[in-house]
Amino acid sequence: MLEGFLRLLRRHGCEFISIDALFSKRQHLNPSKNYVCFTVDDGYRDQAETLIPILLKYDARPTLFVITDLIDKQILPWDAQIATTIRATEHESLDAGALGVPGERILSLKDKRHARRYLSLHAKRLERNARMTFVRKLKDTLCGDSAVDTRHFEPTCWERLRELQKQGLTVGSHTCSHSPLSTLSKEDIQQELTDSLSVLNENIESPSQLFCYPVGMQEDFDERATEIVEQHGFIGALTSEPGYFVLDSVNKNPFTVPRLSLPATTNTAVRYASWIEKLRAGQ
């Protein structure tokens, strides 16, 4: 699907550009051209071994925003821990109310994707310590002392990222722990950015000048976070809110830039690559 989408974009005359180049050159780009940036979040092994090489094959100039504790300390972020627990459990339902989850008291686990999203939505709104307590209780409830298979969430390594960087990858900050910044104290937000930047600079030459918010929906960051991101020398920041890179909007709000997910269907891919989407974006 991805290679087909990349070929489709090429056929429609789209030009691939890194997100850093788009930001730094945005006032001088040709407005008649369609520019496309690819960004990837987290830093898992399958991303570095499968996804990124495909993007590099087509000279798509991707940027990977990494969770530094995942790579540097092999600490799975909270949302990956929820995903591995749901994947591993043999239970068919969960008394979510007993764990403090509002809404459905008895949550069906037959649809594991729905269950994972439902529980992650609850967990991301908790403050850091409460979130990690919830994740531990969920694992104890559903898996007990059994080992949980985390192979689908193996981290990549700095050596591999340096190899990919030589081929055209840019690497940027996605914080240390992937905690939604709106749930952290101002001091903890500072620490997340300072530490992740320090680790990046130790391991990667010329990391991205852009930041990528953990989780990244509007409720996951706030004015405190955008101010601290700017104070750390970033020239902009990416969210997970759906939308297009519209020059006027980015100039006004460079620290809340939206992104589009990869299309799930061929029809959506065709629409993304067409002039219709340019009209929808108001360009």
Average pLDDT, the chain: 93
Kindly report whether the global pTM for this prediction surpasses the value 0.75. Answer: yes
pLDDT of residue 279 exceeding 50: no
**% pLDDT > 70, the chain:** 95
Provide the pLDDT for residue 277.
47
- Interval 228-261: pLDDT, tens: 999 999 999 999 999 989 899 999 999 999 999 9
Same domain, 180 and 264: yes
Asked if 216 contacts 239 with a C-beta cutoff of 8 angstroms, the reply is yes
Domain stops at, among 151, 173, 206:
151
**Per-residue pLDDT at 273:** 64
Q: Are residue 119 and residue 62 in the same domain, yes or no?
A: no
142 shares its domain with 275: no
Strand partners, 14: 34
Q: Which of 106, 121, 151 is the last residue of a domain?
A: 151
Q: In this predicted model, what pLDDT tens digit does every residue of 46-97 receive, in sequence order?
A: 999 999 999 999 999 999 999 999 999 999 999 999 999 999 999 999 999 9
In a domain, 182, yes or no: yes
Q: What mean pLDDT comes out for the span 19-39?
A: 91
Judge if 58 and 160 occupy the same domain.
yes
Task: Please check the confidence at residue 9 and state whether its pLDDT lies above 60.
Answer: yes
Judge whether residue 281 has pLDDT over 60. Answer: no
Measured over the CA atoms of residue 81, residue 162, residue 263 and residue 152, the dihedral's sign is negative
Asked whether 203 and 157 are in contact (CB, 8 A), the reply is: no
197 and 215, same domain (yes or no): yes
Which pLDDT tens digit goes with each residue over 94-151? 999 999 999 878 999 999 999 999 999 999 999 999 999 999 999 999 999 998 999 9
What would the pLDDT profile of 164-174 be if each residue is shown by its tens digit? Answer: 999 999 999 99
Element (H, E) at 201: helix 186-203
Do 64 and 188 lie in one domain? The reply is yes
Instruction: Label residue 274 by pLDDT band (50, 70, 90).
Output: low
Q: Which two structure tokens, joined as six digits, stand for 190?
A: 């500072």
Structural domain for 112, as ranges? 78-151
Q: Which two tokens stand for residue 203?
A: 């391991």
Distance (Å, whole) CA 230 – CA 216: 16
Please tell me whether residues 66 and 187 are part of one structural domain: yes
What is the signed CA dihedral for 175, 179, 185, 186, rounded to 10 degrees? 20
* Distance in angstroms (rounded) separating the CA atoms of residues 158 and 73: 11
Give the model's confidence band at 30: pLDDT under 50 very low, under 70 low, under 90 confident, else very high: confident
The total number of structural domains that make up the chain? 2
Per-residue pLDDT band at 280 (split at 50, 70, 90): very low
Instruction: Check whether 282 has a pLDDT greater than 50.
Output: no
Considering 151, 183, 200, which residue would you say is the last residue of a domain? 151
